[in-house]
Structure 1
Amino acid sequence: MTEIATVHGLLAFQARRHPDREALVATAGDGAPVRWSYRQLEERVDAVARFLVSATRPGDRIAIWAGNDAEWVEIEYAAARAGRVLVALNPALTADELRYALTHSGAVLLLHGARYRGVDMAGVASAISAECPRLQTVVSLSDRSWLFGADSVELPPPPVDPDAIFMIQYTSGTTGRPKGVLLSHRSALSAVTAYVRRLDLRDGTVCVNPMPMFHTGGCIIALLAIHLLGGRLVLLPRFGAHDVLVVSREEQADMTIAVPTMLHDLIAAVSEGAPAHQYRTISSGAAPTSPALIARAQTVFGAVVHAVYGQTEIGSAALATSRADSDKDHATTVGTPFEGIQCRIMDPVRGRECARGEIGELWLRGDQIMAGYLDDPGATEATIVEGGWLRTGDLGVMDERGYVRITGRLKELINRGGENISPLEIEECLRSEGKLVDAAVVGLPDDRLGEIVAAVVRADGPVSREELEEWCRTRLTRFKVPSRWFVIDDYPLTPSGKIRKHVLTEMLQAGSVREL
């Protein structure tokens, strides 16, 4: 495969190689349908890059806060073309969360969508912009007048340093506020190059992508992997099982990407009468997938359903099953490490490498590993240890063949439908409510989402589920709001006074704690 050093270099290569081949099918921020060839996409990217050069300086951080609009793709490539760092933000962020991310990242420019799930994004951006010290410019993607006047700007030569930071992705952790993951061009391109080889994806692959673009699954795996193949990315504004299947048939898609929750809904849609489109490949990751779900998906869609393991800190994906693997391996493992990735299973207590068949923490090393966490050397040093090994925080076991099975998480993150959620962030929100003495948040098993968020509170007096939900709803992204609520008189504690969350979870599952 041709050596490409930067993210923009990937687009430039395909614009020369396949100028008239369709690169992107999507919907623009103003609702207009889009079908752009590689040549058209490159021309639009250059126009946006001229604006970025006129409005910002090399190395500046520019933030995008939008849904799955066509402009997301333009801006991702344009930031790379102009030598700026893209800050990818979840469009569901509340005003407080947006303010934190813009301030923490030091973004000087915010490009935002018009509306997302009924929220006036322009109004939110305007309300908090003055509270973000480094933010200088705020523009709406639905009004392209911000491009006017930049057409005469001369573009400098494209950046060529593969180790330059390309993107900042925010990821939840056990310390409360999300951390900014620094990803280089090399990290992103190493990941997608190994990914397309492992899944044996073909030149010109057509992929229907319902994954959100602010996730590495959308902006790295879906976009860059498909464009590395000179393929067509069909970007859906949002996930809807029926829409995915109809559009897949219309576009004659070879592939789709879906977390287990999406797979579940796609199968359900077929049973309700939606067309059962036949794919060659389905890529599934972000959360554990049950063997029964993978078997059913393979039967319904005629595809090889690849189990893929990844996280933001490794530039997206790092392990996956291959087309040659058995149904059992697809259903019970996440395959083997990608080419260029080294893998260890480490005893988190003794600090030694585990023998095959022993459960320990998954450690990874390779070009895909993040450069670190933004302005957080302590967290970086705790995560990337001696020798360049990244501690994933996930527990797993490796068999004699080198296949890995994920068995749990060392960290306390809750994985709800592929979204990593920090319990501490929700606990801090609840503790600020006023009526509560304390709060503990845990994940409970769920057939569809993998896990759901459950909150167990102690209160001074009467408290209702409705008022607690309303308190959280105005301060947290929707998927972080607990879906089950419990009230307790006394938590199970360790001798040092810490809540024994595994015991608390067992109590909830046993029905021994009163549910609101």
Structure 2
Amino acid sequence: MRPPPARLTDVDGAVEINRSSGLRRLERFVPFPVGPSTFEDVWSRRTDETIAVIDADRAWTTRELRDEVDRVARALTAAGHADGSRLAWVLGNDVGSLISLLATVRVGAVWIGLSDRATNAEREAVLADAHPDAVFATLPDDAPGVALPEPPAPTVPAAIAYTSGTTGRPKGAVHTQQQLLYPSAAAIATEGLDEDARIGTPLPLSTLNILLLGPLTALACGGVAVMMKRTSASGLAEDLEQYAVTRALLVPTMVHDLVSQGVTSAQLQALERLIVGGASDDARRAAVAQDMLGVPLIASYGLSEAPTGVARMRVGDGGATPLPGVDIRIEDDGEITLSSVGEGPWAGCWQGTLGYWGNPEATAALWRGGRLHTGDAGTFGPDTGLLVSGRMSEMINRGGANIAPAEVEAALLALDGVADAAVFGVPDDRLGHIVAAAVVGDAAVETLGPALRSTLSGYKVPAAWLRLDILPRNPNGKVDRSALRAMVGN
């Protein structure tokens, strides 16, 4: 006989752990106080002829977008993809990425995004963990006459967000349909987003949290999703101006580049706010950027397991404010932990990830005592705002992209002539951090970077190198990364 599920300590008593899958299971559905709580709600709140998406020179109406979603959903149904099927998509920054998510969830399947900019080795690592039922590089053809199934329950798995984690092994955070819409509901509640919003981002839509914060939030609030593809400062400024974007999602490096190129508020007249996440930034430099661009910079703190931001602050404030429904606590060891608030209209609305796909050990480490342990360190400032002091792990945050040192170290150790290696982050004015590596062995350092590019994306390749006879280690045998950073500084 299968043992009964082990109940988590949870504020609303609505969460269990499924022992067979290792994932949490939501027992009941708690609608959001504002905004849509399911994808069907998204459609019901929009008018057919309103513009939903602008992609290059084409404007998609809500009816056209839904027709395309239904067309793809019929094709998926005809191919036998239904409840629980895991479908991986390798698409770019266009309307196809949004359609793939909406169609996948419509048939009850689980969406997985794969970057078209990643190397084959990086994609294969995700595929090896997810074991998807199908991988798509384009949207499938229609299957006329095929009936669509009933829409799935909002509490079942709907998407997996992959994050490298500190070990370098890809980990897939599983999210429900309702939690995919939590960022939209939080933005509607805190920013007053409505049908006048035009939301755009050049960040990769293969990353689940970007897809949620950008296009899906635009749909959910009744506004327009703008598909942006250019990342250079000049191209970014032109797109923001041409498409009259009111809310943009960027990383600090992009904001830095806009300021460096002399972009001013006169070129960004429609822009009402910049949501900046993915990397820390110097407070003074951020304040200068806010003044020059004439737009509020909203710094976001979040993680893939959330599935996006859980706290935000305007540059210049004393700390970040938790988003509706999120209870943030600093544990005795300084770690930031999260749970749903226990009272009020948002009680039970934020639930976080169901756990890591196929990794019950990591899920158990993530969820302890009914709280999500972020692995980040923080404090509460004088005005009670959250101040994030850094990673408790050694994750490197380069220009908004998280890089696991273990992944780069493994690639280095696979090269001829490398006997030992340690990878670490070094502060950088523009990117926040750059990747640095210390190597032991007789390999020529100048050959290592080019060799790594065959298996790693360019941004993961170290930009600073140390050749040592032996790596510095502490008494427990662990590499002393602080000592290595000091060597680079010297």
Matching residue within 68, 74, 90 for 1:44: 68
- In the alignment, which of 481, 484, 489 is matched to residue 469 of structure 2? 489
Indicate conservation of the 8 Å contact 2:74/2:148, yes or no.
yes
Distance 2:108 2:165 in 1: 29
**1:357 is matched with which residue?**
none
Q: 1:66 to 1:59 in 2, by over 3 A?
A: same
Bigger relative contact order, structure 1 or 2 (CA pairs below 8 A, ≥6 apart): 2
Partner of 1:372: 355
Change in 2 beyond 3 A, CA 1:191/1:274: closer
Partner of 1:338: 323
Tell me which of 60, 64, 70 is aligned to 2:85.
60
8 Å Cα contact 2:276-2:298 kept in structure 1: yes
Question: Residue 468 of structure 1 aligns to which amino acid in structure 2?
Answer: L
Equivalent AA in structure 1 for residue 40 of structure 2: G
Measure how far apart 1:368 and its partner are: 3.9
**Is residue 158 of structure 2 the alignment partner of residue 169 of structure 1?**
no
Matches within 5 A, 1:405-484: 405-459=387-441, 461-465=442-446, 467-484=447-464
Give distance in 2, aligned partners of 1:248 and 1:261: 16
Asked if structure 1 preserves the Cα contact closer than 8 Å seen for 2:34 and 2:185, the reply is no
Higher share in helix: 1
After superposition, where does 1:344-359 map in structure 2 within 5 Å?
344-348=329-333
Q: 1:371 to 1:90 in 2, by over 3 A?
A: same
Q: Which amino acid aligns with 1:72?
A: S
Q: Give the superposition deviation at 1:80.
A: 1.1
3-state SS, counterpart of residue 218 of structure 2: helix
Closer/same/farther in 2, CA of residues 237 and 10 from structure 1, 3 Å limit: farther
Distance of 1:343 and 1:503 partners within structure 2: 33
Counterpart secondary structure, 2:469 = coil
Where does residue 124 of structure 1 map in the other structure?
none
CA separation in 2, counterparts of 1:216 and 1:262? Answer: 20
Distance in 1 (CA, whole Å) between partners of 2:186 and 2:58 is 29
Q: Contact 1:417–1:449 (CA<8 Å) still a contact in 2?
A: yes
Tell me if structure 1 keeps the 8 A contact 2:35–2:185. no
The counterpart of 2:221, out of the listed 226, 229, 233, is 229
Question: 1:10–1:227: 8 Å Cα contact kept in structure 2?
Answer: no
Provide closer, same or farther for how the CA distance between residues 158 and 383 of structure 1 changes in structure 2, counting only shifts above 3 A. Answer: same
The structural deviation recorded for 1:99 is: 1.9
- Encode CA deviations 1:111-149: one digit per residue, 9 max, x unaligned: 11xxxxxxxxxxxxxxxxxxxxxxxxxxx34xxxx414x
Q: Specify the alignment match of 1:5 in structure 2.
A: 37
Which secondary structure state, in structure 2, belongs to the residue aligned with residue 247 of structure 1?
A: helix
Aligned identity (percent) is 32
Give the match's secondary structure for 1:394: strand
Contact 1:198–1:320 (8 Å) recurs in 2: no
Q: Is the 8 A contact 1:248 1:277 kept in 2?
A: no
| CA displacement, residues 58-112 of structure 1 (integer Å, 9 cap, x when unaligned) | 2101001122122111111111111110011122222222222123111111111
Structure 1 residue 301: Cα displacement: 2.7
Q: Tell me the equivalent position of 1:125.
A: none
1:419 counterpart letter in structure 2: A
- The CA deviation at 1:272 is 9.8
Backbone CA RMSD of aligned residues: 2.0
CA distance in 2, matches of 1:302, 1:278: 11
| C-alpha distance in 2 between matches for 1:44 and 1:271 | 37
SS in 2 for 1:296: helix
1:92-171 residue pairs with structure 2 within 5 A?
92-112=117-137, 140-141=138-139, 146-148=140-142, 150-159=143-152, 161-171=153-163
Amino acid aligned to 2:445: S
Q: Which SS does the other structure have where 1:9 is aligned?
A: helix
Give the structure-2-normalised TM-score: 0.87
Unaligned runs of 5+ residues in structure 2 are 1-32, 341-349
- Counterpart CA distance in 2 for 1:227 and 1:276 is 23
Partner of 1:363: 337
Moved more, 283-292 or 294-303: 294-303
Question: How far is the alpha carbon of 1:286 from its aligned partner?
Answer: 1.1
CA distance in 1 between partners of 2:265 and 2:190 (Å):
33
Q: Distance in 1 between matches of 2:237 and 2:54?
A: 15
2:67 equivalent to 1:86: no
Partner Cα separation in structure 2 for residue 271 and residue 213 of structure 1: 25
Measured after TM superposition, the shift of residue 3 of structure 1 is 5.6
CA contact (8 A) 1:11 1:42 kept: no
SS at match of 1:313: coil
Matching residue of 2:4: none
Q: 1:177 deviation in Å?
A: 1.7
Q: Quote how far apart the aligned CAs of 1:400 are.
A: 4.7
Within 5 Å, give how 1:248-287 maps onto structure 2. Answer: 248-271=240-263, 275-287=267-279
Separation of aligned partners in 1, 2:291 and 2:250:
16
Cα offset, 1:271, TM superposition: 4.9
Deviation of 1:274 (Å): 9.3
**Residue pair 1:245, 1:277 contacting (<8 A) in 2 also:** no
Residues 97 and 411 of structure 1, relative CA distance in 2, 3 Å threshold: same
CA spacing shift, 1:235–1:368, aligned 2, 3 Å: farther
Aligned with residue 102 of structure 2, among 77, 80, 95: 77
Structure 1 residues 455 and 47, CA gap change in structure 2 (3 angstroms): same
Q: Is the 8 A contact 1:11 1:38 kept in 2?
A: no
1:462 is displaced (CA, Å) by 4.6
Residues 62 and 86, structure 1, Cα contact 8 Å, conserved in 2: yes
What amino acid is the match of 1:4?
P
- AA aligned opposite 2:49: D
Unpaired stretches in structure 1, ≥5 consecutive residues: 28-32, 113-139, 349-359, 512-516
Moved more, 300-309 or 196-205: 196-205
Kept in 2, the 8 Å contact 1:34–1:70? The answer is no
Number of aligned pairs? 448
Q: 2:486: which partner in 1?
A: 506
Q: What's the CA shift string for 1:376-410, capped at 9, x where partnerless?
A: 11111111111x21111111110353301111110
Contact 2:70 2:103 in 1 (8 A): yes
Instruction: Tell me how far apart the structure 2 counterparts of residues 266 and 299 of structure 1 sit (CA, whole Å).
Output: 12
Indicate if the aligned counterparts of 1:211 and 1:218 stay in contact, CA closer than 8 A.
yes
Equivalent-residue separation in structure 2 for 1:272 and 1:298 (angstroms):
10
CA contact (8 A) 2:377 2:390 kept: yes
Structure 2 distance, partners of 1:24, 1:273, is: 25
Q: Given the superposition, is the C-alpha separation of residues 67 and 279 from structure 1 closer, same or farther in structure 2, using an over 3 Å criterion?
A: same
Instruction: Check 1:450–1:43 CA distance in 2 against 1; reply closer, same or farther (3 A cut).
Output: same
Question: Helix, strand or coil for the counterpart of 1:19?
Answer: coil
- Which residue of the partner structure matches residue 35 of structure 1? 59
- The CA distance in 2 between the partners of 1:2 and 1:317, in whole Å, is 18
CA spacing shift, 1:258–1:454, aligned 2, 3 Å:
same
> Aligned partners of 1:21 and 1:94: how far apart in 2?
38
SS of the residue 1:270 aligns to: coil
Counterpart amino acid of residue 63 in structure 2? R
